[in-house]
Amino acid sequence: MNLHEYQAKQLFARYGLPAPVGYACTTPREAEEAASKIGAGPWVVKCQVHAGGRGKAGGVKVVKSKEDIRAFAEHWLGKRLVTYQTDANGQPVNQILVEAATDIDKELYLGAVVDRSSRRVVFMASTEGGVEIEKVAEETPHLIHKIAIDPLAGPMPYQGRELAFKLGLEGKQVQQFTKIFMGLATIFLERDLALIEINPLVITKQGDLICLDGKLGADGNALFRQPDLREMRDQSQEDPPRGSGGAVGAELRRAGRQHRLHGERRGPGHGHHGHR
């Protein structure tokens, strides 16, 4: 079960992770009011769907006026967004996320999955943020750095520092990255997740790290003990249970993603998850 970006960022905030100030809106008027709450523009407006490729499909836009925010919301709310990750029908847009724009200096990637071969939660970090991690794994695998979490010891700050150094971070960025790493690992374990991604995790022009995007996939088998995640479920984004659709199809796609990232060769799996 996937969460929307705005829901992922709500969880990030609960765990003290840095993300842009933003509001999920269901009407054009709410979107305009959100911009007023945030303060001076520019702002970023994003269609909230369970699919990657939103930017290329016109579902993410930087805007400089509230009129543009209203126009974006009027255009997309109630419509369906078609991206390279959806079928021809696309996904319904029921919310628009309005955020403060971020001055980006560099884009990184940080994510974690359950690696079934090692039976560990494995974190992956890369300097190649903003693109599909499967593409990086296929074309430049040496640019993905991995660390496995010991199930008994749990995540350790030194592991975060180790990844930070491999990404070329320095000074306060190492401390910030380690805090984000520890926070994500805690969310992953406490919330029974199957997937977590920040793509991109950006370095701002001021040299600070911020979670510009967020994707969370919950383990459907553990939802009975995660009532707040259950409440976040958006069934309008889920395929009907036929063929490769529905929960079973999602599990197969997630398994396929792990095979590609970890070089496993067991079992089926097609498709991939991104969140751009």
Question: Which token pair is 141?
Answer: 């695998």
Helices 157-166 and 172-190 cross at an angle (nearest 10°) of: 130
Residues 6+ apart with CB under 8 A from 273: 2, 52, 85, 195, 197, 215, 217, 253, 254, 257
Close Cβ partners of 35 (under 8 Å, ≥ 6 residues apart): 41, 43, 66, 69, 98
Catalytic residue selected from 5, 99, 128, 197: 197
Spell out the residues 6+ positions from residue 221 whose beta carbon is closer than 8 angstroms to its own: none
Contacts of 140 (CB under 8 A, 6+ apart): 128
* Catalytic member of 5, 107, 109, 128: 109
Is 158 an active-site residue?
no
109 assigned to active site = yes
Q: Which residues are catalytic?
A: 109, 197
